[in-house]
Structure 1
Amino acid sequence: MKKRIFICLTMISLIFSSVIPAFAASTSLTVSTDADTYLPGEKVTISGSVFQDGQPAPELNPRLSVKAPNSSSVFNWQWSEEEVEEDGSISTFFTLNDDAALGEYTVTIVAAETTETTTFTVVEAKEVNVVTVSTDKQSYVQGEKVTINGTVLRDGQPAPQLNPTVTVKAPNGSSIFNWQWSEAEAKEDGSFSTSFTLNEDAVVGNYKVTLVAGEESENVTFNVSEGTTPEEGFILTDKNTYEQGDKVTISGKVLQDGEPAPQLNPRLSVIDPRGTSIFNWQWSEDEVEADGTISIFFTLNDDAKLGTYTVKLVTGEETKESTFTVTEQTLDKQVTVSTDSDKYDQGDTVTITGEVSQGGSAVTSANVKVTVEKNGEPLKVVTVQTDDDGNYEYEYELASDATVGSYTVKVTALDHEVTTTFMVSLKSSGGSNPPGNPVPGPSPVTPDKGNNGKQDVALSNVLTQINNEKAKNVLIKLLDGNVAANVQKDVLQKLVEKQKGLTIEGEKATLTFTAKTLQKLLEKANGSLVFAAHKVEHDMKGHKATSDVFDFTVTNTLTNKLITEFEQPVVVEIKVDTTKVKDARKTAVYYWNEEEQEWQYVGGTMTENGTMMFKTHHFSVYAAIEQDKTFADITGWDWAKDQIEVLASRDIIQGKSVDVFAPGANVTRAQFAILLSRALNLPQKAYAGVFSDVPATMDWAAPEIEAAYHAGIVTGKDDGTFDPYSPITRQQMAAMIARAINYQYPTLAETEMKQLSFEDATQIHGYAVESVQLAFSLGIIQGKQEGKIFAPAEFATRAQTAVMLYRLLDIAEEF
């Protein structure tokens, strides 16, 4: 009996020992989606993991299924052993149909009889409303006109049907202005503008403007002071809406009974939507400006709370408030575009490629709109999609008789547009010339003429000029209507060796390159170069052209690539039709900015030969343009009116609006740096973060401020800031002008110095004395009160700035 029991126990033990391991293996699965809610047509990314006994288990070949609300299967996937990551993680994605059913979807993953599920919801795409509102200024006085601007869009279209309503409330809460936008007033871009005039006895303090459109609303505040001498201070931010991570600049005034009150030691606090103080500051008496102005800035955290923030300024027993809104940080969108060459012949294939990413990650299956344009007219518009790596490609076939000249490729993705350009040349036809091109005949002089408007330049053609020690430049004249010179490599080498410049003179355009520029070009090309001045047709955008439009190019013949940037300026002359010129001072050269789709100021001087001469660090499309601008509010400013009109006509200065210049308003340090940068056409570089208070997001001024810094015109302060928003004083402006003279016009800096005759000359700060003296000696500064005083610490007005800048350019013979 015992023996039988022993045998039974032994058999049971053997059975369990073979079965237990099978039950002991534990499978663990996870699954999740990258969002809880999606819209029809959106991409769904699914990720998870597969483990067995705590170890990655790719051998289990996990299976995935996604079922719609009606239980129908919309996506299935199974990972092979190789597709499971070493750490056991898995991922895949699919795109919902544009007509995907609304409701809850179930995601199920199965491996080794273990199941894990998650869900997500597909909701109806709601119409996107965009509502913005702003005022033309942040501070007004009683009796002043307030202009309110805004935008109301639904899905990118004007939306007056939303019944946009503007309400303005005084500090006591009473409504003082109401306005509703009618459909008849709708503009194509969805913008609106309205205005009203404050009463002479308007309540002093912060006013609130509210724009309501449908279920959307937006607010902005402004301050009203009493008369021209406010009795109380105020506090404002530089914008009404910020994104997480943005810089917030706060400014205001501390006044008591209408007088600056630095002794009140103003205290500032910024309170987030939860009521938590996130930034505090107190100004000492020395930190408050002489006129009571205060300013400070801070940077919002990348995860700052969304909503309305309150800015409080406490001075003595008084508290002033302002508000701003923080919205979610927009992911950085990157779209690139390039072509496989910069130059093509008629009939060639142009391969257009690029990449689309957002937040540093590739965007797959993104719609990319590709437009090929010539002179602003679209020739081909297609939509392609990005691949799994975020890349896209499109091949554009040029016609065998395609128009020669510059073409533009525009690419739009993720509501972001980028552009690039390429050139098309006439295709060689083995000796016969295409219709419209002059047939080369016997040349009376060397160098030799080539086909298709291109003239070949060999060393034997120019050796005599190169060896002439008295000649600074070698001159190549383009003959018989040729528009390009093909300069051989040995010619370039000899020019660099002899330190000779190169001038290429065509019928209506001349290009001059220094020896140093030729050396840099030779280093880049290591072969022959084609220098060209193509006359092209171009949309002038309503501007009056006084010359032909030219597309200047330098082409590396080894790579067929364009060289467009030059470390040293190239001197260019273009022939002007003088019969079209009314005022040569208002005529200047402009280049076509492809990205901004506008003509932008370059400068230039009208010569006695009827040409416009200018310098440029890059090649593009150029033309001479004359404008005639004036402003309604400069009547009576006779001492500055002409100078304002000339500089405005050359796009060096701009008005507050089309009709308003505000000649008596102050100029900030940033604004004056921009004016100098434009007037001198300073070369710009990539953003370098030179000043801590001039971030890259300050794109309306940062490029010009940094250009002025690289030129030695602005230096900033000891603490590494530039203080861009502070009004510039007359002595600070003189210092910048003097540095500009040393950079751009060094011979003027050698002018014999005159003794300063101003009664307040001793009040000029030490750093500015020599600058003021130089500007005075050149006649740029003439003083106030008939030359009796200079007023060095007084803020410069817009009219004074225009006059000084005009005198500088006039003395430098830039007109």
Structure 2
Amino acid sequence: MDIVNFQIMYVTTPVPGLTYDVPSLPASGKIEAFNRTVTLTYPRGDVLVDGSGQITNSSVAFTVYDPPTTRPDNYHFLASQVIQISVPQAVYLLQPGQLTLSYDPNISAAVADQLAIWYSPDNDWSDDDNYILGGRTDVRNHTVTAPFQFNGKTEGYYAVFLADRVFKDFTSQSEAAWAYSSVMPMWAKGLVEPLPIDRTDNNFGAGNNINRLEFTTILIKGLGLPIIEKTSSVFSDVYATPEGNNGSYFGSNYSSANGFKIYDQSHTPVQYAETAARYGIIAGYPDGTFKPANSLTRQEAAVILARAANLKLLSDGDKAKTDLERIFTDASAIQPWAAPSILAAYRARLIAGLPDGDKKIKFAPNDPLTRAQAITMVYRLLEKQKKI
């Protein structure tokens, strides 16, 4: 009898065409593929459900694809393998998870915070049906990790791209140059947009004043809080479409012709405002309005930021004012309702003062908050919470 020898090889290198099938979702809360270049994590005991919300034992497949010839706008460099993740139609994780992709270790750590995970339904990265997942860059392990949920279709493609765009606002001669290291990763990961959103002059709008709705939206997106799907019209002046407010949510910076590109395509402004209200991050006015287009003052922003960060506040407002007088030259102008939040946010290094003479700083509580200042504050919070 002839003896036939078989050699079975387990391929771990993520070469194009390689597929890794998982028959059902492991209860361990983790799937690793291709020598850990792809990791899907989710809460232990999580399950897959179908379009009716019924538990299903569906399989999950991971496939490596050839590098595409297309790129998302302003993301010219592919930094990882393209991974197709397939499940049956309309299958979701009951509780969303996280997707981690390895990126090219030769990419400089100086620009690694401008890496982001992108999704495409068809592996064409230049059309309008792609969207950015963003994610937190781990420079030590050369990975990017982003929130993940199956898109309800049979398959989707995921890859890490490196952003590549120069904004004039951040040249060494500009007033906003100091904010470059905070604003660029926030933009690259899809949390903020240049305003007006259709601008083509390579300015970011960093020196423009930020309004209540934009600041709220950046916070909610950055923190990754679940968005309220069914709105209840908590505020009388925030509408589901820009036309309901004459397109003025972003004031003169907003171009309604392009829609709310600053938000992901599936949510409306009212959902962000009401989500923030539900979590106690922002409150309306006594007359029931939200005043979405109103500029924020620096002391108002500090109060919102302290709530979003769950900072512990002094209950003694007078004590907070006394402490602030040792820090800021204009502490007397700070309102009592804002003093504890400003002190807490300053001590947490989420907010800073402004130069006011030789080795002195002021807070300028009534000055409008610029986009550069606002985005930097949120960046510090997300970095502190390891979300970016």
Deviation per CA, 1:371-400: give whole Å up to 9, x if none.
xxxxxxxxxxxxxxxxxxxxxxxxxxxxxx
How far apart, in 1, do the equivalents of 2:284 and 2:94 lie?
25
* Match among 785, 800, 804 for residue 377 of structure 2: 804
Give secondary structure in 2 for the equivalent of 1:515: coil
Which letter maps to 1:629? R
User: Are the aligned partners of 1:603 and 1:679 in contact in 2 as well (CA < 8 Å)?
Assistant: no
- Report 1:560-599 matches (<5 A): 561-564=89-92, 566=93, 568-581=95-108, 583-592=111-120, 596-599=128-131
Is 2:224 aligned against 1:690?
no
Matches within 5 A, 1:167-316: none
Structure 2 residue ranges without an equivalent (≥5): 1-5, 243-258, 261-268
CA distance in 1, matches of 2:149, 2:331: 40
**CA–CA separation in structure 2 for the residues paired with 1:719 and 1:551:** 50
- 2:71 aligns with one of 521, 540, 543: 540
Map of 1:393-408 to 2, 5 A cutoff?
none
1:514 deviates by 0.7
CA distance in 1 between counterparts of 2:165 and 2:185 reads 8
Q: In the alignment, residue 541 of structure 1 is paired with which amino acid?
A: P
Asked whether the 8 Å contact 1:545–1:626 carries over to 2, the reply is: yes
> What's the CA shift for 1:758?
2.6
Q: Secondary structure at the match of 1:579?
A: coil
Supply the distance in 1 between the matched residues of 2:185 and 2:48 (Cα, whole angstroms).
38
Whole-Å Cα distance in 1 between the matches of residues 44 and 313 of structure 2?
29
Alpha carbons of structure 1 residues 541 and 693: separation in structure 2 relative to 1, 3 Å: same
Output the amino acid matched with 1:610.
H
Q: Which amino acid aligns with 1:530?
A: S
Q: Of 546, 551, 575, which residue of structure 1 is paired with 2:84? A: 551
- Name 1:626's counterpart in structure 2: 162
Contact 1:601 1:652 in 2 (8 A): no
- Counterparts of 1:93-112 in structure 2, within 5 Å, are none
- Cα displacement string for residues 432-474 of structure 1 (whole angstroms, at most 9, x for unaligned residues): xxxxxxxx97699xxxxxxxx9xxxxxxxxxxxxxxxxxxxxx
Q: Which residue does the alignment assign to 2:245?
A: none
Q: Residues 572 and 615 of structure 1 are in contact (CA less than 8 Å); yes or no, is this contact kept in structure 2? A: yes
Matching of residue 674 in structure 1 with residue 217 in structure 2: yes
Q: 2:140 aligns with which of 603, 608, 611?
A: 608
Task: Look up the equivalent residue of 1:510 and give its one-letter code.
Answer: T
Q: Match of 2:378, SS?
A: helix
In structure 2, the partner of 1:714 is 282
1:412 corresponds to which residue?
none
CA contact (8 A) 2:38 2:101 kept: yes
Change (3 A) 1:530 1:669: same
Distance in structure 2 (CA, Å) of the matches to 1:710 and 1:545: 39
Do the aligned partners of residues 547 and 783 (structure 1) sit closer, same or farther apart at CA in structure 2, a change above 3 Å counting? same
Q: Look up the match of 1:636.
A: 174
1:514 to 33, 37, 43: 43
Contact 2:168-2:203 at 8 Å conserved across structures: yes
| Higher Rg | 1
Partner residue, 1:308: none
Instruction: Give the match's secondary structure for 1:675.
Output: helix
1:670–1:593 distance in 2 versus 1, CA, 3 Å = farther
Q: Aligned to 1:590, what secondary structure does the other structure show?
A: strand
Q: Which residue of 1 aligns with 2:20?
A: 483
Letter in structure 2 aligned against 1:678: K
Aligned-partner residue type, residue 377 of structure 2: M
Whether 1:504 and 2:36 are equivalent positions in the alignment is no
Aligned to 1:120: none
Aligned residue type for 1:529? S
Question: 2:205 aligned with 1:662, yes or no?
Answer: yes
Give how far 1:728 is off.
0.9
Task: State the SS of the aligned residue for 1:722.
Answer: coil
TM-score normalised to the size of structure 1? Answer: 0.35
Counterpart residue identity of residue 235, structure 2: F
What secondary structure does 1:622 align onto? strand
CA contact (8 A) 2:119 2:159 kept: yes
User: What does the per-residue CA deviation read over 1:165-200, in whole Å, with 9 as the maximum and x for residues that have no partner?
Assistant: xxxxxxxxxxxxxxxxxxxxxxxxxxxxxxxxxxxx
CA distance in 2, matches of 1:531, 1:604: 24
Report the CA distance shift for 1:481/1:598 in structure 2 as closer, same or farther (over 3 A): closer
Cα distance in 1 between the residues matched to 2:372 and 2:344? 21
Asked if structure 2 preserves the Cα contact closer than 8 Å seen for 1:590 and 1:603, the reply is no
Amino acid at match of 2:115: T
More strand by share: 1
Q: 1:783 to 1:583 in 2, by over 3 A?
A: same
Residue 250 of structure 2 aligns with which residue? none
Shift of 1:738: 2.3
Q: Do the aligned residues in 2 keep the contact of 1:548 with 1:623 (CA within 8 Å)?
A: yes
CA distance in 1, matches of 2:22, 2:111: 34
Deviation at 1:515, TM superposition (A): 2.7
Q: Does the 8 Å contact 1:738/1:774 carry over to 2?
A: yes
Task: Read off the aligned partner of 1:586 and give its amino acid letter.
Answer: Q
- C-alpha contact 1:573 1:612 (8 A) present in aligned 2: yes
Do 1:607 and 1:613's aligned partners in 2 also have CA atoms closer than 8 Å? no
CA distance in 2, matches of 1:593, 1:482: 18
Partner secondary structure for residue 568 of structure 1 = coil
- Asked whether the 8 Å contact 1:687–1:696 carries over to 2, the reply is no
1:409 equivalent in structure 2 = none
Post-superposition offset of 1:767 = 4.2
* Contact 1:483–1:534 (CA under 8 A) maintained in structure 2: yes
CA distance in 1, matches of 2:45, 2:279: 19
2:351 alignment partner, one of 755, 762, 781: 781
Name the CA distance, whole Å, in 2 between partners of 1:650 and 1:481.
28
Distance 2:87 2:312 in 1: 37
| Matched position secondary structure for 2:40 | strand
1:671 is aligned with what amino acid?
E
Q: Do 1:752 and 1:777's aligned partners in 2 also have CA atoms closer than 8 Å?
A: no
CA gap 1:568/1:734 in 2 versus in 1, 3 angstroms? farther
Which among 719, 735, 741 is matched to residue 303 of structure 2? 735
Aligned-residue Cα RMSD (Å) equals 3.7
Quick one: structure 1 residues 792 and 520, their matched pair in 2 at CA, closer, same or farther if it must change by over 3 Å?
Answer: farther
Aligned pair count reads: 320
1:645 maps to: 184
Gap change, CA 1:711 and 1:541, over 3 Å in 2: same
The one-letter code matched in structure 2 to 1:628 is D
Shift in Å, 1:798: 1.9
